Structure formats: structure tokens, C-alpha cells
Structure 1
Amino acid sequence: MLSTLTTAPTISPADLREAMDGDVPPTVIDVRSPVEYSSVHIRGSYNVPLPLLAEHGEEFASRLPGQVVLICQSGNRARQANERLEAVGIHPDSVTVLDGGIAAFESAGGEVVRGRGPWAMDRQVRMAAGSLVLAGVTATKVVSPKFVYLAGAIGAGLTYSAASNSCAMAAALSRMPWNRSASEPELGTVLDSLPDRS
């Protein structure tokens, strides 16, 4: 399992926008799931889901051209991808992580492509956590005072999630049917879609 504590060099959304308008734009690799990518992504980015990149890091490291920017929803998965690429020998100066993820890029006025798909994972987590807390508080008043522990458990989980920079709820939600409707890309297809190194 990849660590979530790596400190990767970052690029701000404004700097990425400027770099993408330059003569030699960086290669933007989006490591979110295909469903997340299809719902919103940076124009011109390539979808390489983190599990695929983690499993085939050597192949990707040998094919990634020039300057590479890794992105995800908030930055955690992109940092994990950066750690994997560094572990297989990619030069640390050639890869950066988008600070704040795609949401920060869009907020900074970056161009994104929107499709029809499920909510972004952070929005799904907020909805699930909020609904569970609300249900727990309501059940405490209507059914049994012991339901207060449900709200406490969600609060503890969110606290741990922030402290560890991981999210068990997001991992569970990513396995739900509505988040798995887009087909997982195959290694050969993804590698062939990347720009030529020459």
C-alpha cells in the first residue's frame, strides 16, 4: 500500500494555467477513477487511474514525456502517484502535484470539461457523513439515546480522515455501483494515449 505522507513538489492552479498556455505545456495526468474523470476533468489531461499507475509504475515512468503534473480531487492520490513514480526512478524534478486538485484549478478559472456523471467524491462523502449524523441525531430523539454513538463515530472517522489524509468513507463509496459505471481503462490503451516522448 502506498503511503499518504509523501511530500511532493506542487504547482499552483494559476501556475498550471499559465504553463498550459505556454509553448511546451506539461503533460497532465489525472489519477482519479474513470467515473470521476468523466464527470469533470482538465481539458487535454490524460486519465491514468491510481491503481493502474501503481501496478505498472515502471511502464508509465518510461513513457511519460517532459514535465508531468499529477492531479486528483484534492491532492492525496496525486501525491501517492508521485511517490510511486519516484520509487521506479522517474526524476523528482520532472513531476509535480497540482496543489488543491481539480477543484482548486476550476476555482482559479482553469478550463475544465464537464460530463454527465456522479457527484465528485468529496461531495459524496459530505452527503453521506451529513446524512448519517442527521440520522443518528434524529434516531437519538425518536428511537434510543444510544444512536448518539453513530454521530460520534462519524465525527471520529472524519477527524481521523483529516489527520491521516486518507478517507475510508471515500474508499467505500468508490465501490458503489454508481461510481463504477465507467469502464476501467486497460494498460495498453492508456499507454498508447500518452504523448510521444520524442
Structure 2
Amino acid sequence: MNTPTTLATHEAHNRLHELTVIDVRTPGEYAGGHLPGALNIPLDQIRRALPDISHAAARGHVLVVCASGARSENACRILAENGITTATLSGGTGAWAADGHDLHRPQGSARATWGMERQVRFTAGTVVLLGLLLGFVLHPAFQILSAGIAAGLVFSALTNTCGMAAVLAKLPHNRPRAADLDDTLAALRNR
């Protein structure tokens, strides 16, 4: 299995002209700002894009990015299992922007949504508060909701995965339209 390399932001910035950049965040996150020239293929669509990513990797270097690096590492793992050598951006788009590099936004795009981490924090906090409130007002058994979220957060930290993010990514505002993904895959084939 191929092990992905990690590029620091300054390395990626200096090599951007020779890289095929794949952003594995949700379309809403991508619209909020992405590396110049990045193509949006959400993590849950990576397997569908394997032939096209393999073709791009055969022609040059592929850099996989996300907000912080966790989703891009997961994508790189999937790609490596399929014989595709890739690199990931250390710290993701957050580190890219923090180092003073520009993030691009699709022209005419008003479809920016909250980042996945923010969506998870909001959902987890809402369910915890709801569980506590219903536990005090209706029945103590509702506090199990809060305990379940706490257990999920601990599991998420230990495994560097997030089941809640996987569920939230399936919501309509986080999903690419089929035509958008088809256009992205066509652009990837033509690079």
C-alpha cells in the first residue's frame, strides 16, 4: 500500500502549478474557499472518482486537501488502498489561509455553508442541551441523549473519525448535485 506524503503549506504553494488538487470537503465548505485550481470531490464520492483520480495521478502529483487534514488523510488512505499515490496538505485549508495564502471561491457562488466542524459542534451542543432539558422536564431517561453524544465525541477523538460528520455530510446542503460532480470528474480527466 502506498503511504501518502504530507506537504507543508509553503511546499504546496511553491508546487501548486504542478499539482492536481482535490478538495474532499462538502460542496458548501468548498464554496466557502478552496486552494486555487482545486477540484471538489467530497470524501464520500472518492470511490466513484477512483478511475479519474488514478488517471490524474499517472500524469502527475495529486494533492488531497480538506479543512484540517483528517478527511484528506482518510481519502489518501482509500486512494492508497487502490494503488494511487497522493499527498495531503498539512493542516488543510485552515493552515493554508493562516499562512497568508489566498483561498478562491467559485464565481457567483452564494452557497457557502458552515464548515463541517462547526456543523458538528452545533448539532452535538443542540442534542446535549435537548437531552438535559427533556431529562429535567419530562423524564430522566432523555439524559441518555447527552451521554450518547459525550461517548461519541470521545470515540471520535480516539479514532480521528466522526460519525456525526458522516451523517451531516449526507444532508442536502452538503451534497454535490450530480451534474456538478460529473463536471468535476470531466475536468479531472482533461487535466
After TM superposition, the score normalised by the length of structure 1 is 0.78
Q: How does 1:1-198 map to 2 (within 5 A)?
A: 8-20=4-16, 24-64=17-57, 65-90=59-84, 92=85, 95-114=86-105, 115-116=109-110, 117-180=112-175, 182-185=176-179, 189-194=183-188
Q: CA offset at residue 70 of structure 1?
A: 0.4
Tell me if structure 2 keeps the 8 A contact 1:27–1:45.
yes
What residue ranges of structure 1 are gaps of 5+ in the alignment? 1-5
| In structure 2, distance between residues paired with 1:132 and 1:52 | 28
Aligned AA (2:92) = G
172 and 121 in structure 1: CA distance in 2 versus 1, 3 angstrom threshold: same
Q: Percent identity?
A: 36
Instruction: Write out the 4+ residue segments of structure 1 that deviate beyond 4 Å after TM superposition.
Output: 185-188
Q: CA offset at residue 187 of structure 1?
A: 6.5
Q: CA offset at residue 148 of structure 1?
A: 2.5
Q: CA offset at residue 44 of structure 1?
A: 1.5
Tell me if structure 1 keeps the 8 A contact 2:25–2:71.
yes
Q: CA offset at residue 39 of structure 1?
A: 2.8
| In structure 2, distance between residues paired with 1:60 and 1:143 | 52
- Listed one character per residue, the Cα deviations across residues 43-69 of structure 1 (whole Å, up to 9, x for unaligned) are 221122334331342332123332221
What residue ranges of structure 2 are gaps of 5+ in the alignment? none
Instruction: Give the CA RMSD over aligned residues.
Output: 2.6
Tell me if structure 2 keeps the 8 A contact 1:57–1:84.
no
Tell me if structure 2 keeps the 8 A contact 1:63–1:191.
no
Tell me if structure 2 keeps the 8 A contact 1:19–1:25.
yes
